[in-house]
Amino acid sequence: MFVSNLIPVDEILINSEIAETRFSCELQKCKGACCTLESQYGAPLLPDEIAQIKEILPSAKEYLPKEHSEVIDEKGFYEIKHNEFFTKSLNNRACVFVFYENDVAKCSIEKAFLDGKINFKKPISCHLFPIRVSKFGGDVLRMEHFHQCLPAIDNGIKNDIKLVDFCRESLQRLYGKKWYLKLKETLGK
């Protein structure tokens, strides 16, 4: 990551790729791959999200397959690796909160939110995806690349939607509406 590619907005640095890349999810093509990426790590969690998820867990579990519910009951929904929190990953593949609607992997937390059962949408790392937040003396936002997201890039190009706009809601959730407006102003949009 080169410093010349970073755009400062207050104390947060944004990789210019976030402002320039066109991106808009195509769930029917990627099949919810972001929830099932092969990795020993699940989704990153903020420490305060642990308590929030514990509170809404019964509603989120209503949508889960038996195997996922059993893992949560027996081992919990998160783990700590390298002093960071992550959702559990089943077989180094699916997030413990994954359920399938037809053949598309979806988040049971988000489903409970959309059904009006809870007021927590999903972990911010999931909401921001494919934007990732790294800590280097402050937040640095970067785009994480996965070949499974190529349909989202094609869709973003087709519909002229930039990643910074696609993730507007999640960026505002994390940093606030004023910060997002300042970001857009800095980008000249």
User: pLDDT confidence of 92, banded at 50, 70, 90?
Assistant: confident
The reported pLDDT for the residue numbered 4 is: 61
pTM for the complete prediction? Answer: 0.91
Give mean pLDDT, residues 72-82: 95
d(Cα 134, Cα 82) in Å, to the nearest integer? 14
Rounded to whole angstroms, the Cα distance separating 55 from 102 reads 28
> What is the average per-residue pLDDT within 29-35?
93
Specify the pairing of strand 139-143 against strand 12-15: parallel
What are the structural domain ranges in the chain?
A: 1-23+130-189, 32-121
* Mean pLDDT computed over 119-142: 94
CA-to-CA dists, residue 111 to 4, 25, 57, 107, angstroms? 40, 17, 12, 6
Look at phi and psi of residue 84 and say left if phi exceeds 0, alpha if psi is from -120 to 50, else beta. Answer: beta
CB atoms within 10 A of CB 137: 7
